[in-house]
Amino acid sequence: MRKLHWINVGVAVLVMVAGTAFAKDWHKVADLSAGGEAKEVTVNREVSAIRLVAETATVTVQTVVVREGANKTPYTVAARLPMKDNHDIKLPARVAVSGLRISDAGRGAYAVYVK
């Protein structure tokens, strides 16, 4: 019985460490409210992926334009994200992203993370 307890403690610690390592890979760059005009988000870092996470209510994201200085690369998302759902955009390589322009709709709030 005692040995089983220590095995469970070990598994719990491994899960916490793995979760922490995953969380450290993603950096929150914005908290946004959906609706209205397109949102501009300053990033200024190298990025390999973008994650959009619906925090409250449902959020619809149409496009995310990745800005690399004067260069702009649009990514069509066309995703409806229910609360607590997410959508990842994998970039073709690590890119020096200066900012993002996000077109959205809905009444919810969402967070933007980069990795």
pTM assigned to the model: 0.79
pLDDT of residue 114: 98
111 within 8 A of 29, measured Cβ to Cβ? no
- 24 residue type, one letter: K
Task: Look over the chain and give the mean of its residue pLDDT values, rounded to a whole number.
Answer: 87
10 Å Cβ neighbour count for 55? 15
78-115 pLDDT tens trace? 999 999 999 999 999 999 999 999 999 999 999 999 99
Coil, helix or strand at residue 47: strand
CA trace torsion 75, 78, 84, 85 (10° rounding): -80
Burial pattern 62-90, b for ≥16 Cβ within 10 A else e, equals eebebbeeeeeeeeebeeebeeeeebebe
**Domains of the chain by start residue, with CATH:** 28-114 (2.60.120.260)
CA 40 vs CA 10, 12, 32, 108: distances in Å: 44, 40, 10, 17
* Count of other CB atoms within 10 angstroms of residue 97: 23
In whole angstroms, give the CA distance from residue 14 to residue 68: 38
- Percentage above 90 pLDDT, the chain: 79
% pLDDT > 70, the chain: 80
